[in-house]
Amino acid sequence: MVGIIMGSDSDLPIMKQAAEILDEFGVEYELTIVSAHRTPERMVEYAQSARSRGLKIIIAGAGGAAHLPGMVASLTSLPVIGVPIKSSNSIDGWDSILSILQMPNGIPVATVALNAAKNAGIMAARMIGAFEDEIAKRVGIYQVNLKKAVEEKIDLVKKDFPNSFDKQ
pLDDT digits (tens, 9 = 90+) for 75-88: 999 999 999 999 88
Phi-psi region of 26 (alpha: psi -120 to 50; beta: other; left: phi over 0): left
150 assigned to some structural domain: no
Give the helix, strand, coil percentages of the chain, each rounded to 5. 50, 15, 35
96 assigned to some structural domain: yes
pLDDT reading at 90 higher than 90: no
166 assigned to some structural domain: no
139 assigned to some structural domain: no
Distances (CA, A) of 103 to 67, 93, 98, 136: 10, 17, 9, 29
The annotation places the binding site at 8, 11, 38
- Give the residue with greater pLDDT, 68 vs 158: 68
CATH number at residue 81: 3.40.50.1970
57 assigned to some structural domain: yes
Please tell me the total count of domains within the chain. Answer: 1
74 assigned to some structural domain: yes
43 assigned to some structural domain: yes
The annotation places the binding site for substrate at 8, 11, 38
44 assigned to some structural domain: yes
β-pair partners for 68: none
* Model pLDDT, residue 168: 54
- Using 50, 70 and 90 to split pLDDT, how confident is the model at 150? very high
The candidate with the shortest Cα–Cα distance to 26, out of 156, 142, 145, 113, is: 142
Question: What is the dihedral sign for C-alpha 51, 52, 54, 60?
Answer: negative
Residue 111 sits in which domain range?
2-133
